[in-house]
């Protein structure tokens, strides 16, 4: 019975082969396992795929012609402004709660006290959000403008944008205020640039010490 089924299936396959112009030879799994594949060695015993092709040493992102691999200042400006506004609102809220509790400590817990604390929290949150958001907006505008003028993106743009932001933000306080704002912006932007390049500076210093 089994022999007849085997012969019948073989005859059916042969008939299909003859129908399409010829019969392909049949091989068992044992015979196929020993056939070497060009460029696919060593093969995985579980998958008929070379594991080396699964390791990608290069980036898989396709960038347009002339595009940078990192985000520019214009793209980061939205994140910077929004983050500073949220940070200012959070800090102002905490400061408003502290000030509200301090100013109403002689009042009993009642609705007027809660309303007064809420008003102080609202004013402080909006004030700090407006302040930090304005600073971030000025810094982003100066950074994008300097990058377009110089045609380069480096730490000089960061320090220059920070210095000009501090000077313009304190421009209503006179020359002394402008000088103080410029120094503050220079210090903060310089510290930020130093933080970004700290790994490169420490790596270069360690390599130079090894040479000597």
Residue-wise pLDDT tens digits, 66-119:
555 556 778 888 888 999 999 999 999 999 999 999 888 888 888 888 999 999
pLDDT tens digits along 151-166: 888 888 889 999 999 9
Residue 12 has pLDDT above 60, yes or no: no
Instruction: Report d(CA 53, CA 66) in Å as an integer.
Output: 28
The pTM score is 0.60
How does the average pLDDT of the chain come out, rounded?
76
Residue 122 above 90 pLDDT? yes
Per-residue confidence (pLDDT) for residue 53, from 0 to 100: 63
> Mean pLDDT, to the nearest integer, of 168-174?
87
Q: What is the mean pLDDT of residues 3-28?
A: 49
DSSP three-state, residue 26? coil
Q: What's the confidence (pLDDT) of residue 119? A: 94
């Amino acid at each position: 019975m089994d022999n007849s089924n085997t012969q019948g299936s073989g005859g059916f396959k042969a008939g299909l082969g003859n129908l399409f112009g010829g019969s392909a030879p049949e091989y068992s799994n044992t015979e196929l396992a020993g056939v070497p594949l060009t460029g696919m060695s060593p093969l995985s015993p579980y998958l008929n795929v070379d594991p080396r092709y699964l390791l990608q040493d290069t980036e898989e992102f396709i960038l347009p012609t002339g595009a940078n691999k990192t985000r520019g200042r214009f793209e980061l400006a939205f994140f910077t402004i929004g983050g500073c506004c949220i940070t200012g609102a959070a800090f102002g809220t905490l400061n408003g709660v502290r000030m509200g509790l301090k100013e109403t400590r002689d009042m009993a817990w009642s609705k007027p006290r809660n309303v007064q604390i809420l008003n102080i929290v609202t004013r402080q949150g909006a004030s700090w959000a407006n302040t930090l958001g304005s600073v971030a907006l000025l810094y982003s505008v100066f950074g994008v403008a300097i990058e377009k003028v110089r045609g380069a993106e480096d730490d000089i743009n960061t320090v220059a944008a920070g210095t000009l932001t501090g000077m313009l933000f304190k421009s209503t306080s006179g020359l002394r205020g402008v000088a103080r704002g410029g120094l503050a912006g220079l210090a903060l932007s310089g510290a930020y640039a130093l933080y970004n390049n700290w790994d490169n500076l420490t790596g270069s210093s360690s390599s130079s010490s090894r040479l000597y």
